[in-house]
Amino acid sequence: MAKKPGRKKKTKKQKLAAECDQLWKDIVKFRDKYTCQKCHKHPLLGANCHASHVIPKSRSRSLAFAPLNGKTLCFHCHINWWHKHPVEAGPWYRKTFAERWQWLEVQERIPVTITELWYSDHIKYLRWYFLLLRRSL
């Protein structure tokens, strides 16, 4: 099969980041029992189930794949509330998940260099974390 013109091959680092991202999403949704943390709809399936970052990936790459930096929201709550009403959404999160928020504030200040090795190690950590999570629930 011929390579499509203009399409770049993903680097190893990009492939590792994509694997981290998928594991992170699976962990967040599983931990939250596929339930919207805002409106409590359950079960959320397919495109209606969003694993959403608390602190955006663009603001903190080191927290991009931290399970505590995620919450499960339905499509409506994610797009029409979380993103469109951040003045309301932020305080709601800080009140509802106070311990998670405190952890995120501390972790965000720690400088981290993201390398292929970091991604590889983080994938191992996420797999281990997911295994423990599945055993405990």
| Domain interval for residue 39 | 33-132
pLDDT over threshold 80, residue 73:
yes
Structural domains in the chain (count): 1
Angle at 68 between CA 106 and CA 122, to 5 degrees: 90
Task: Please give the pLDDT value at position 39.
Answer: 96
CA separation for the pair 60, 123 (Å, rounded): 18
CA separation for the pair 44, 21 (Å, rounded): 19
Amino acid at 14: Q
pLDDT in tens, 22-71: 999 999 999 999 999 999 999 999 999 999 999 999 999 889 999 999 99
Helix (H) or strand (E) holding 49: strand 49-53
Tell whether 89 is covered by a domain: yes
Instruction: Please report which confidence band the pLDDT of residue 8 belongs to, taking 50, 70 and 90 as the band edges.
Output: confident
Tell whether 54 is covered by a domain: yes
Instruction: Please report which confidence band the pLDDT of residue 7 belongs to, taking 50, 70 and 90 as the band edges.
Output: confident
CA separation for the pair 125, 76 (Å, rounded): 31
Tell whether 122 is covered by a domain: yes
Angle at 82 between CA 60 and CA 103, to 5 degrees: 40
Q: Average pLDDT, whole number, for the chain? A: 93
Contact (Cβ atoms closer than 8 angstroms) between residue 41 and residue 74 = yes
Tell whether 65 is covered by a domain: yes
Tell whether 67 is covered by a domain: yes
Tell whether 22 is covered by a domain: no
